[in-house]
């Protein structure tokens, strides 16, 4: 029984009142008596009118109650990554409470314009793979909150990545030892490779570079050589990318004594790889991770890593967005998790 769609005007006519009254009944209860309002609402229900058309409201009010979550790259990957999906959970819980809806947007899209006009605001999780999107977002006069990177003029949610990386590296490095780094998204390449002399991605926006800075600072303090041949670029945490890098790093001779990994997924891959080759962790190889995902606590040995709360990040980002103009950037805490891999 698919009914013909009624408009507010139809309803007003049918009930013999003005359109304004119907509109007010739905949107501004203070503009009419409670009794009248109840009557109208009841009558609307009766005749099958479920309220003002949302598309028209969006145009008229310039507000849709939709928030776009711009992910770093494609949606597919992000939903399957434990860190990202935990973040999404945080965001969605706050939005749901605020009666807002969540639109997932891919950071590798051509443009943001096809939603920019009707969305109420943007949460940007990681620098969008397509840098044009960041540019477009800045031009927009809509609230934007960035997470794990910065965009001029937008409040952001971050942890102190440099410091976190420094601290964990200081724990893991041996004085004058050999250390390698399995980095995440360091250069512009879709495949796993060593960094060598490739230009690093825009270092202002990338958390990877804050982490790299922290590792470097610690390596200097510990008199470890810094060598671009021992720094890997991994395009994303999942898939086989990390495994390839893990195999490469473990087949170097002499082998690094410490490997600093920019995500837990990478570190777990390395750990599994090492154990399967009979390499003793941490006696023969020390490994550190980054993120603090659940799975990293369930391995033997437990991964030594930097814990950050992705749920909290998501919640904070959503709250910041809802605050609107006067929102300030937030730096969240992290914690070192002392596992058994160093």
User: Among residues 40 and 245, whose Cβ is nearest to DNA?
Assistant: 40
**What is the side-by-side strand order in the sheet with 231-234?**
193-194, 231-234, 179-184, 258-261, 286-288
Return the residue of 45, 48, 61, 104 that touches DNA, per CB under 7 A.
61
Closer of 28 and 138 to a second copy (Cβ): 138
Q: Which of 14, 21, 66, 311 binds DNA (CB under 7 A)?
A: 21
Residue 106 near a second copy by CB under 8 A: yes
**Binder to a second copy among 7, 21, 23, 74 (CB under 8 A)?**
74
Site string for a second copy, 141-160 (x = CB under 8 A): x-------------------
Q: Least separation, in Å, of the C-beta of 113 and a second copy?
A: 5
79 binds a second copy (CB under 8 A): yes
139 binds, options a second copy, DNA, none, Cβ within 5 to 8 A by partner type:
a second copy
Among residues 19 and 163, whose Cβ is nearest to DNA?
A: 19
DSSP, collapsed to helix, strand or coil, labels residue 193 as: strand
Whole-number Å distance between alpha carbons of 21 and 8? 10
75 near a second copy, judged by CB under 8 A = yes
Q: Using the rule CB under 7 A, is 59 a contact of DNA?
A: yes
For every residue of 90-132, DSSP letters joined together read: HHHHHHHHTT-EEEEE-TTSS-SHHHHTT-SEEEEES--SSHH
Closer to a second copy by Cβ: residue 99 or 253? 99
- Other C-beta atoms closer than 10 Å to the C-beta of 178 total 17
Q: Which residues contact 268 (CB under 8 A, 6 or more apart)?
A: 289, 295, 296, 299, 303
Burial of 190 from C-beta contacts in 10 A (0-12 / 13-18 / 19+): exposed
The site partner of 115 among a second copy, DNA, none (C-beta below 5 to 8 Å per kind) is: a second copy
Q: Which two tokens stand for residue 173?
A: 């490095």
DSSP assignment of 142-163 equals S-EEEESS--TTS-EEEE-HHH
Which residue of 14, 43, 53, 174 would you call a contact of DNA, by CB under 7 A?
53
H runs (alpha helix) in the chain: 8-15, 19-27, 34-47, 54-61, 75-80, 82-97, 113-116, 131-139, 161-172, 207-221, 241-250, 264-276, 295-298, 310-323
The two structure tokens encoding residue 204: 């202002």
> Counting contacts by CB under 7 A, is residue 42 touching DNA?
no
239 is a contact residue toward a second copy (CB under 8 A):
no
Under rule CB under 8 A, residue 23 binds a second copy: no
Q: Can you tell me which of 14, 41, 43, 57 binds DNA, judged by CB under 7 A? A: 57
Q: What 3-state class would DSSP assign to 51?
A: coil
The DSSP output letter for 325 is G
Phi, psi for 180 (deg, rounded to 5): -120, 160
Question: Which residues make up the interface to DNA (CB under 7 A)?
Answer: 5, 7-9, 12, 16-21, 23-24, 26-28, 30-33, 35-36, 51-53, 55-57, 59-61
Which residues here bind a second copy, judged by CB under 8 A? 1-3, 5, 50-51, 53-56, 58-59, 62, 64-66, 74-76, 79-80, 85-86, 88-89, 92-93, 96, 99, 101-106, 111, 113-118, 139-141
């Amino acid at each position: 029984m698919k009914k013909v769609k009624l408009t507010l005007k139809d309803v007003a006519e049918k009930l013999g009142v003005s359109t304004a009254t119907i509109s007010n009944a739905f949107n501004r209860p203070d503009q009419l008596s409670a009794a009248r309002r109840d009557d109208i609402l009841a009558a609307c229900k009766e005749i099958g009118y479920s309220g003002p058309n949302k598309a028209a409201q969006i145009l008229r009010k310039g507000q849709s109650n939709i928030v776009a979550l711009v992910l770093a790259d494609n949606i597919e990957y992000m939903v399957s990554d434990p860190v990202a999906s935990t973040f999404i959970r945080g965001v969605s819980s706050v939005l749901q409470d605020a009666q807002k809806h969540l639109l997932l947007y891919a950071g590798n899209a051509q443009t943001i314009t096809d939603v920019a006009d009707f969305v109420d605001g943007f949460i940007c999780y990681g620098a969008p793979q397509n840098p044009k999107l960041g540019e477009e977002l800045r031009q927009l006069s809509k609230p934007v909150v960035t997470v794990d990177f910065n965009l001029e003029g937008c409040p952001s949610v971050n942890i102190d990545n440099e410091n976190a990386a420094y601290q964990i590296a200081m724990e893991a490095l041996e004085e004058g030892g050999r250390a390698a780094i399995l980095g995440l998204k360091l250069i512009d390449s879709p495949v796993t490779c060593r960094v060598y002399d490739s230009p690093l991605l825009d270092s202002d926006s990338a958390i990877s570079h804050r982490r790299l800075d922290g590792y470097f600072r610690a390596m200097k303090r510990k008199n470890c050589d810094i060598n671009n041949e021992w720094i890997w670029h991994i395009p994303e945490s999942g898939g086989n990318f990390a495994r390839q890098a893990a195999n490469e790093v473990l087949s170097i001779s002499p082998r690094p004594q410490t490997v600093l990994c920019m995500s837990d997924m990478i570190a777990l891959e390395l750990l599994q790889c090492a154990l399967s080759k009979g390499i003793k962790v941490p006696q023969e190889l020390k490994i550190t991770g980054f993120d603090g995902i659940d799975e990293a606590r369930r391995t033997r040995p437990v991964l030594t890593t930097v814990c950050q709360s992705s749920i909290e990040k998501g919640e904070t980002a959503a709250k910041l967005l809802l605050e609107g103009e006067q929102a300030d950037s937030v730096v969240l805490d992290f914690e070192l998790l002392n596992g058994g891999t160093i």
